[in-house]
Amino acid sequence: MTTSSSPSPRSHAVAIAGASGRMGRTLIEAVLASGDCTLAGALDLAGSPGVGSDAAAFLGRPSQVAITADVDQGVRDASVLIDFTRPEGTMEHLRACRARGVALVIGTTGFSDAQRAEIAAAAAEIAIVMAPNMSVGVNVTLKLLELAAKAMPTGYDIEIVETHHRHKIDAPSGTALKMGEVIAEAMGRDLKQCAVYAREGVTGERDPSTIGFQSLRGGDVVGDHTVLFAGTGERIEITHKATSRMNYAIGSLRAVRFLAGQRKGLFSMFDVLGLNA
């Protein structure tokens, strides 16, 4: 596998999973536009019409990197793989990265507890940034939600509303769930015990200890998230709206740069952005 130019000593050799998809193409565009990253590999499922073609063909310029269904081939020249695919695919990519010592940026959501445990085990050998949303703005929003939840642990009903495009296959979104987790943890609650995902019929009075979720699907909405803290005589709404997938790509490249200084470990975007302090 060759790249369009010889990487400089300071460049990051990046492979992209799901290279033919909407997010994969956005990531490829961001890598090629960056001044410090080189496209080193592109992966997609066997049978995808993009396999065998140049990864940057959609941009009208060659990258000299062909999309491949061979996972080992796709990561062998990379120092880090960015993966926004599905849990089953990500786990296969994780094993290849672990075998080759390739770092990993995981934006995939919907993992089972067992899959999360395998990712954590791999982080004992390679460096991984894992977050349900790589957007810088979303992660700043998560920090704001943590502060709000700590300041308002009682007296406010909490509802999380998310809207995504018609093609999204899971609900609630991983970002909405992360918002719920951050809020619940800040309040000393367990989201698994207090989350409410649906209401219908005669539901009775709202339990003030619950965190509600609503998922809307339609059109080409990239991703809107609003958290409502409804108290007596006032409401606070904290909202993030994404108008382009490029914000996820920009955040992913910040994670790539962060991983260049890590040998192993499991990190979040809070680590990448210095928000844990």
Cα–Cα separations (whole angstroms), residue 80 to 38, 41, 69, 223, 268: 11, 10, 17, 26, 16
Q: Helices marked H in 63-214 — which ranges?
A: 71-75, 87-100, 113-122, 136-151, 174-186, 191-194
> Tokens in use for 191?
């989201």
Rg (CA), the chain: 20
Annotated catalytic residue 164 = yes
* Identified catalytic residue from 12, 164, 225, 240: 164
Cα–Cα distance, 180 to 192 (Å, whole number)? 10
Cα–Cα distance, 197 to 273 (Å, whole number)? 30
Query: Which of 28, 37, 27 lies closest to 5 in space, CA to CA?
Result: 37
What is the torsion angle, in degrees rounded to the nearest 10, for the CA atoms of residue 254, residue 260, residue 261 and residue 264?
Answer: 110
CA 189 to chain centre: 24
* Identified catalytic residue from 93, 143, 167, 168: 168
Number of Cβ within 10 Å of residue 214's Cβ equals: 18
Query: Which of 256, 268, 245 lies closest to 14 in space, CA to CA?
Result: 256
Cβ-defined contacts of 187-191 (< 8 Å, 24+): 187/149, 187/150, 187/153, 188/153
Annotated catalytic residue 168 = yes
DSSP assignment, residue 262? -
Which residues are tagged catalytic?
Answer: 164, 168
